[in-house]
Structure 1
Amino acid sequence: MPEDLLATTIASVHDWIKIDIASKIENAALLGAALSCLRTALSRSPPSAHVLKMLENNILTGLLPSEHEASTTDLLVQLLEPGKPAVITFESLQALKAVSHNYPSIMTGFWEQISAIAYRLLQCPVTNEVSRFNSDSWKGDSSKFSGVTIEKCTVAAIKVIDECLRAVSGFKGADDLVEFRLLDIQLMSNITREKRVSSAPSYGVNLPDSQKNELTDFSSGATRWSEIVDKHLPLAINHSFPMVRAAAMTCFAGLTSSVFSVVEAEVQDYILSSIATAALKDNSPSVKSAACRAIGVVATFSHNVYSGSMLKKIIHAIEINTHDSAASVRLTASWTLANICDSLRHRAIEVQLESCIDNACDFEHIPILAETALRLTKDGDKIKSNAVRALGHISRSLRFYCDSSTYELNKISESFHLAQNLEFSISFFQQSNGSLVSTSCVLNRTLHGDHRLLERMVQAFLSCVTAGNVKVQWNVCHALSNLFMNDTLRMRDMPWAPTVYSILLLLLRDSSNCKIRMHAAVALAVPSSRLDYGNSFCDVVQELEHLLETIGSHQSVTPSSFKYKDNLEKQLILTTIHVLGFVTLKDGLALNDFFLKKAQFLEEWFKALCSSLMETPDQPSACMATSTGNRADLMATNVPKELVQKALKSLYDVYESSNHRSVAERFEKLIRSFS
């Protein structure tokens, strides 16, 4: 499509609507069809810079005394005056919603009109006859719009309000909270794909710098939220039409931490209370689902969620909704459950830093969260994937110990060690009567993990990875990454560890989905010591080397996951270097024949990698040609230099100790050249 064709189409429809209104013919069906066409053009994704410029010029032209030309947005607002048929009101609001979503800067000057229109519609009495309001004075066949009622117009108005609030709040999409939050894994590739979130306004269409700066000032967002909490939402939440109540709940799901943190405490309390009450007491599945999603968003950034009895109420609401007969409600509840578990994990870190024992009550709900998630792993795949994600966060949070004596903390040295090193320890020591008094009993009560629970979670992971769909499988890999990051687990002593590593290697080798393989590679890069890999270490080394050597082969890849192929290759390189850095002389004995056979490949591969690392930023990245002629972009700028040095030193030691002196000398030369 030519770049200016869309703008030309919108301008033509705009002109036709102006002529139609001026003619006084008032054909409702024809005008409704024209507005529907306009809405479709404005909704086109991605947004058009030409359309944005046209809309801006229209507004500027309308401000000139000599012109008085109504802009497209002005025209749509004019059609929302009282007395218009419901179809005209509805289609005008739909078009304004498209403008608010794709071109949010255009709506900045229309907030007062939109707010007033929505408030007026919310005050309209509910009646089945409203759809014929004033329609007798309009000509044309409007039968196809006969289902449009004032209630549906009210829903459309709230959705415009929602879009405006998201834009002024800097909302970028709730999906960003959950797509991949293992940012603290030491070897996760730092190359990420930009993701277009459909529920977020389009901020990036040729915005001038002044408007981009406005996105960091959320005072206007707080003001508008306070306004709708005071006027619109009480009416919407108590509306008799379920779609209106659901639309109101959806507004809450567009909140951001930046805005929530600056609104008044009364507004915060109202928001939390409203979404929790709706999730618990509303009878409509659409309302409950929207309320659960709002809880899932607010729970990720609100410290107020953890105060008083609010957390208990929210968790109770989500647990109740996981039993709902409607799959749509259970799905949203499971998504929120995973977000709450993730938030509690982050909250535990804050508690440790604050050394505040009073906040231990935040974690007393973990057992019920774990049981709920375990139950949901037997539900449908979409729900199962969220349940697995929740279990991953829980498995990282709980503290597991080899015996109860550790928990008794009989020795001051043991107690001090725990307080200093446990990520989720909420222990602190107070000087009392000349002796250290441990308050770790609170940790004992809240985060002490039962090994039977751990085994049930791992069994759930294994069951889901074999029976679940693609999304379930990569969420299992994600969850295993979290499990591996639990520093109280002695992975080498876990009877299920070899099975877990085998599953990850199987997914990494045989899956046709690049995203699954990438997450499996990430999980294999999490263990922070040679001991964590246990007896599976040699298998991991050999499989990673084989995959690295054949990375350029034409393995079957599903089209939907092809966009992850580059990140998979980068992560495989990082994971391989990480694991090779743990190779010991003892491993060298077990892998002697393997390393001798692969010496030439490893040498050439590290040469290319080192060369690429030493290139200047404006030079193209080095490429490695394998023995089979395949090529893989090393993207060496993402490879930590110290990891490469450690891997080279490990290989040098292995070759030197096994009397392969010539090979050892070549690796020694690499080490010197790379120092």
Structure 2
Amino acid sequence: MASSSSGVRSWRTAFLTLRDETLTSPPPHTLFALLRDLVLSLPSDSLVAAASDLPPHEVTSDVMLLAELASAVSECQGAADTLVRVCHLIHDVSCRILREIDSASCTVMLSFLQKTVECSLGISSTQSIILESTARMKAVTEILDVLRFTVKACGRNNSLSQSTQLIRLLLSVIACLHFELNNLFHSNGTNTPAANSGIGDSKWNGLWDMQTIAFSMIGDALSRTGSSMEANLWQSVVEVLRKLMDFLASKNLIVENNAMSRFYTTLFNCLHLVLSEPKGSLSEHVAGFVATLQMFFMYGLPSRSSLPPATTGSKDKSFSSPDMKSGQLDCRQSEHGRYRPPHLRKREGTKINLVDAQSSSVSEPSKYGFASSDSDHSDSDGLVKDGDRYRTSKVRLAAIICIQDLCHADPKWLTSLWTLLLPENDVLQQRKYQATLMTCLIFDPVIKIRIESATTIAAMLDKHSSILLQVAEYRDSSKCGSFTTLSSSLGQKLMQLHTGLLCLMQRETHSGLLASLFKALMLLISATPYSRMPGELLPTVIASLRARIMENLALKNENIGLLLSDLSCLGTALSKSPPSLHVLKLLEEGASGHTQRESSVPLLLLQLSERGRHPAIRFEAFQALRAISHNYPNIVNRFWEQISATVYELLQIQILDDSSSEVVGSCTGEIGKTLGSTMERCIMAGIKVLDECLRAASGFKGAVDLLECRLQDIQQISDSSRRKRISSAPSYELDGLGASSNYTADCQSGCEQWNGMIEKHLPKCLPHASPMVRAASVTCFAGMTSAVFFSLTEDKQEFVISSAVTAAVKDAAPSVRSAACRSIGVIACFSQIVSRSRVLNEIIRAAEFNTHDPLASVRITASWALANICDSLRHKATELRLENSAGEITDSKCISLLVESALQLTKDGDKIKSNAVRALGNLARFIRFTHHSITNDRPSVSYSALSGDSQWLERMVQAFVSCVTTGNVKVQWNVCHALSNLFMNDTLKLHDASWAPAVYSILLLLLRDSTNFKIRIHAAVALAVPATRLDYGSSFPDVVQGLEHILESLGSDHSSMPSSFRYKDNLEKQLTSTTLHVLGFVSSADDQALKDFLTKKAPFLEEWFKKLCLALKEADDQPSASETASSENHGDGSTLYVPNKAALSRAMKSLLDVYKHSNHQTVAQRFEKLANGLT
């Protein structure tokens, strides 16, 4: 008792004196002496013992004072030993006293510990090692203990700055530990504890334990900071993690024991937290992280050569290696494994094969933490709990989740490391060495790890990788040779992924794992270019999914969630483009015959879409049927009656009515709303299936019924130009099928189906309470063809038009009005519609009404419809003039409405602006901008409605110039096309127009500088429209020189985007045609500057004309051979351009005249020789 009182007295005397002496803020060296004489001179044990008898708040206050003063003397000579002794005292006191400190005290303690690490333990090239190794390790241990006490006493209320300070301090501690670890490793050479099966000395294990503590505290701090972490601190943590993981990989420190397992788990937890909130680029670190993480995929598992495939569920299956050449899967069912209770597992754990483990869990874990817990393994993991002595499965799980984080943080760089993560061969074989994610998915005995492996594979296949995989191409490994291209490597990986995922899908029963497998499989199907893979691959996928669905349906209690996932995958597979001949053959099995009808894919989907099924299942079945009807229209059209009846039955259910149906029944609240919403989506999907069937039966190929009259006499269309694929039109042709085998639409069948649709379905679905149902119904009109429309009776035609117009004007739902505008845009393309004044006025006003809608989605389709209406009017106006037909186009008010609306829309967004420019261009083609009378040979035609406002022309040109400078690519080439239409208006006098020179300059700039070849083609077309030399006006010399410069530099032009290269052949042909057209107008009367330019460029022009003459001569001499060559080169776009003989002759004669009158006789003689060669 006396000694205790003496100790308390000494403590208080020392700290009271210290406080008094520091009131005057003495310099650091004085503080250093005071600490040494007043506190550190006392026996440490007596001070620690006295602290137990003092009030906690007093001890806390004195300790904080000691830490604050010690920080202040860190720069003094010999301060290192003092800081370590102070830290030792604080550590011993903290072990005895449970302190409660505030935020300010926490900051003081963190600052002191940081000074201690830097001054006493810092390792750098300029600082010698102050303490010997054992003392350093003791100091580090005490620093970590003090940190833990401080963080615990402060609670989880640390500020962001304190968490940042804590992380920086811990990074310094880890750097010191890493230095010690490196020294210990090199001092022992190859006789390290790591080399001896993980059984090491206390110093070695102590280093790993301290790093485990440090990383655990960093993980806690990172969890608190979250997305608020500073970028430079994030970078520092990443670099420390990378350095340590590189050390593990380079030294092969994959040790299986308690200490190392905990260390790996904590290390990967920190990496997970850092990768989850990236604050900078990871490109420099991805390769290092992946290489190290991949080494832990099999950590803690038995010998890889004897590892059996993992199984879950009572349906225990095993499989043998598939024949990779044939792509066949051999999944054979074995006998059921016997259930072993936990107490027997513990007794016989090492004797029981892992393949007999059973799964009874059906829950799907969402996210897995890394905290140690007995619940990390359950009975569903079989013998893992007893066999996993060191909890190594937590390390494997953490490593896989880090790979998943990298997929999300830096997917672009991760794709270059697929070699490490995905197999190229033998996916179902046990890998003795380099494990992949598929190894974990197939062979790991822990279900959580297998689920995360599937999730990680799904993350790898998502987003950026789907673009990369488009280059994948499967080649037999025996044909690849010693060098494997990227495309072949990716093709091999896709084949292995298909093999592994399909085999697992067939034998697994764990619902959580199956859900992850289906997600990965769906992304795999979406990303795979099946046209470049073996033809049997996609049918194999579809057949496997069909088998799985039928197996699910055979169960007593079918799993709706898995059935939905399976149907979603099937729909994705059936919607793959381009359509496959092999898939068509599979779908035709049982579709028309009398055998195996129950296994036919279309019939199975029809069965799932019938009454009595859950609405969500019916929805997915309809989605898959829609995919079939789009890609394989001849299949589903055979089942039109069944589909029609099923959808009609659906329409009988009024979801939003009070006397609701059997499906919603007595459901109330959120459940009733969900069922109602699902049923509405189901009805919508059914209508879309009918829509696809109607389009296929009608022969719909897009809104192209309107006769194209777009400058065909000027624009030279290449034989290698690609046919435009309309996404909304069914696929009528399949690769590999002859023309006779492809689907041919029957107009009579289409008319019959449309009659049934109008009589039965549309009267019920057009007034439906659900907007999505009404929108789908109105969209059906957008798939109608002109032939089918005019084969309907007049009352049904009126029904179609009035339904679309009414929905566009009166429906309250924007989606319905948008769909109605699209339908109006298609109907407006029917050639006879513009002859019906009343109908034309109605659709014009309906489209114009929606151009004022606040939603851009509605204005886009409204402007598209408006442009189509103007296109039809332009076509009809030119027809009237060409055919000398009588009749009024439309009234002047509607023309004025169209012009004003289009001009207003040119100020909207790019998608709307593009349609507005197209509308103006069509109007500019036929509106008469003067009031001159018409020639007497067409007296019956009335043009009063076609006369335009005198200001319209100026406003149109201003709109074109504005759009070409501010719009996107599509806007720009629509402007070029609109200018072509404007130039073709014969009421204009281009040479008198003040705006003409500026317009010509813009077209030349686009032709020269645009990176998009389509824009350049349209600009060249527009420059070729003026029919006389006078029309070019003062811009003629500029046009001639500009075209020559562009023609001369075309071969060396590499500035265009790769996606434009397919149009380069067309550009060269159009540029040649335009140049010949313009050169045909040059004469000896032109300006001297232009004649000098033509003389200067005579050598180039001569060679150019020689090539054209040679091409023309070869075409004349061997027309059949030319046609053959053209046909052979159809795919690569390298056909030979044959110029128009009259245009070529006219251009050469014009140049010959210039050279003769310029006294360049030698040049003239060479051109005369060329000209004579054409005759």
TM range (shorter): 0.7 to 0.9
Q: 1:177 to 1:655 in 2, by over 3 A?
A: farther
Equivalent residue for 1:520? 1019
Deviation at 1:348, TM superposition (A): 1.7
Asked whether 1:580 is paired with 2:1079, we answer yes
Equivalent residue for 2:791? 262
Equivalent residue for 1:288? 817
Q: 1:339 to 1:48 in 2, by over 3 A?
A: same
d(CA) in 2 for partners of 1:341, 1:208? 38
Deviation at 1:161, TM superposition (A): 0.3
Deviation at 1:569, TM superposition (A): 1.6
Match among 133, 152, 158 for residue 663 of structure 2? 133
Match among 532, 535, 549 for residue 17 of structure 1? 549
Deviation at 1:125, TM superposition (A): 1.4
Asked whether 1:63 is paired with 2:563, we answer no
Aligned partner of 1:646: which letter? R
Aligned partner of 1:56: which letter? E
Say which SS state the counterpart of residue 231 (structure 1) adopts.
helix
Task: Kindly indicate whether structure 1 or structure 2 has the higher relative contact order, using CA contacts under 8 Å at least 6 residues apart.
Answer: 1
Aligned partner of 2:1167: which letter? F
Asked whether 1:2 is paired with 2:534, we answer yes
Asked whether 1:368 is paired with 2:897, we answer yes
Q: Which moved more, 1:472-481 or 1:559-568?
A: 559-568
Q: 1:296 to 1:134 in 2, by over 3 A?
A: closer
Q: Which moved more, 1:553-562 or 1:647-656?
A: 553-562
Q: 1:40 to 1:292 in 2, by over 3 A?
A: same
Equivalent residue for 1:654? 1154
Asked whether 1:37 is paired with 2:608, we answer no
Q: Tell me, yes or no, if the aligned pair for 1:570 and 1:634 is still in contact at 8 Å.
A: no
Deviation at 1:30, TM superposition (A): 1.7
Say which SS state the counterpart of residue 475 (structure 1) adopts.
helix
Aligned partner of 1:15: which letter? A
Q: Tell me, yes or no, if the aligned pair for 1:400 and 1:451 is still in contact at 8 Å.
A: yes
Say which SS state the counterpart of residue 54 (structure 1) adopts.
helix
Alignment of 1:57-456 (within 5 A): 57-60=589-592, 62-64=593-595, 67-127=596-656, 133=663, 149-174=678-703, 176=704, 182-191=710-719, 192-205=721-734, 212=742, 214-215=744-745, 217-352=746-881, 355=884, 357-361=886-890, 364-401=893-930, 406-407=932-933, 415-416=935-936, 419-420=937-938, 427-428=939-940, 442-443=942-943, 445-456=944-955
Q: 1:44 to 1:68 in 2, by over 3 A?
A: closer
d(CA) in 1 for partners of 2:1143, 2:1061? 28
Deviations 1:118-177 (A, max 9, x none): 1111111114998993899xxxxx99x978611110000000001001111111123x57
d(CA) in 2 for partners of 1:13, 1:355? 62
Aligned partner of 1:214: which letter? T
Deviations 1:409-444 (A, max 9, x none): xxxxx741xx55xxxxxx42xxxxxxxxxxx6x42x
Asked whether 1:669 is paired with 2:1166, we answer no
Q: 1:376 to 1:566 in 2, by over 3 A?
A: same
* TM-score, normalised via structure 1 length: 0.87
Aligned partner of 1:195: which letter? K
5+ residue gaps, structure 2, are 1-532, 1126-1132
Say which SS state the counterpart of residue 187 (structure 1) adopts.
coil
Equivalent residue for 1:435? none
Match among 957, 963, 970 for residue 464 of structure 1? 963
Aligned partner of 2:1006: which letter? L
Equivalent residue for 1:46? 578
Q: Which moved more, 1:262-271 or 1:517-526?
A: 262-271
d(CA) in 2 for partners of 1:504, 1:3? 47
Q: Which moved more, 1:589-598 or 1:464-473?
A: 589-598
Match among 1093, 1100, 1117 for residue 594 of structure 1? 1093
Task: Pick the structure with greater CA Rg.
Answer: 2
Aligned partner of 1:230: which letter? E
Aligned partner of 1:223: which letter? E
d(CA) in 1 for partners of 2:1071, 2:739? 39
Q: Tell me, yes or no, if the aligned pair for 2:653 and 2:661 is still in contact at 8 Å.
A: no
d(CA) in 1 for partners of 2:1162, 2:764? 82
Deviation at 1:574, TM superposition (A): 1.1
Equivalent residue for 2:1137? 636
Q: Tell me, yes or no, if the aligned pair for 1:86 and 1:131 is still in contact at 8 Å.
A: no
d(CA) in 1 for partners of 2:1065, 2:892? 39
Q: Tell me, yes or no, if the aligned pair for 2:656 and 2:769 is still in contact at 8 Å.
A: no
Q: Tell me, yes or no, if the aligned pair for 1:178 and 1:339 is still in contact at 8 Å.
A: no
d(CA) in 1 for partners of 2:753, 2:548? 34
* TM-score, normalised via structure 2 length: 0.51
Q: Tell me, yes or no, if the aligned pair for 2:867 and 2:918 is still in contact at 8 Å.
A: yes
Deviations 1:221-265 (A, max 9, x none): 111111101111111110010000100111110111121122222
d(CA) in 2 for partners of 1:94, 1:374? 41
d(CA) in 2 for partners of 1:596, 1:68? 79
Q: 1:198 to 1:361 in 2, by over 3 A?
A: closer
d(CA) in 2 for partners of 1:265, 1:235? 21
Asked whether 1:498 is paired with 2:997, we answer yes
d(CA) in 1 for partners of 2:1069, 2:831? 35
d(CA) in 2 for partners of 1:19, 1:113? 24
Equivalent residue for 1:546? 1045
Q: 1:11 to 1:254 in 2, by over 3 A?
A: same
How many residues are treated as equivalent by the alignment?
626
d(CA) in 2 for partners of 1:657, 1:644? 20
Q: Tell me, yes or no, if the aligned pair for 1:84 and 1:134 is still in contact at 8 Å.
A: no
Q: Which moved more, 1:191-200 or 1:262-271?
A: 191-200
d(CA) in 1 for partners of 2:643, 2:1112? 56
d(CA) in 2 for partners of 1:91, 1:84? 11
d(CA) in 2 for partners of 1:354, 1:619? 36
Deviation at 1:647, TM superposition (A): 0.9
Q: 1:337 to 1:619 in 2, by over 3 A?
A: closer
Aligned partner of 1:554: which letter? D
Aligned partner of 1:42: which letter? L
d(CA) in 1 for partners of 2:1088, 2:1061? 39
d(CA) in 1 for partners of 2:725, 2:902? 29
Q: Tell me, yes or no, if the aligned pair for 1:621 and 1:635 is still in contact at 8 Å.
A: no
5+ residue gaps, structure 1, are 137-141, 408-413, 421-426, 429-439, 623-631
- For the aligned residues, what is the CA RMSD? 2.8
Deviations 1:27-80 (A, max 9, x none): 2222111111111110111111110111113424x523xx45431101111112
Q: 1:576 to 1:509 in 2, by over 3 A?
A: same
Deviations 1:71-94 (A, max 9, x none): 110111111221111111111111
d(CA) in 2 for partners of 1:490, 1:470? 29
Equivalent residue for 2:1067? 568
Say which SS state the counterpart of residue 361 (structure 1) adopts.
coil
Deviation at 1:587, TM superposition (A): 2.1
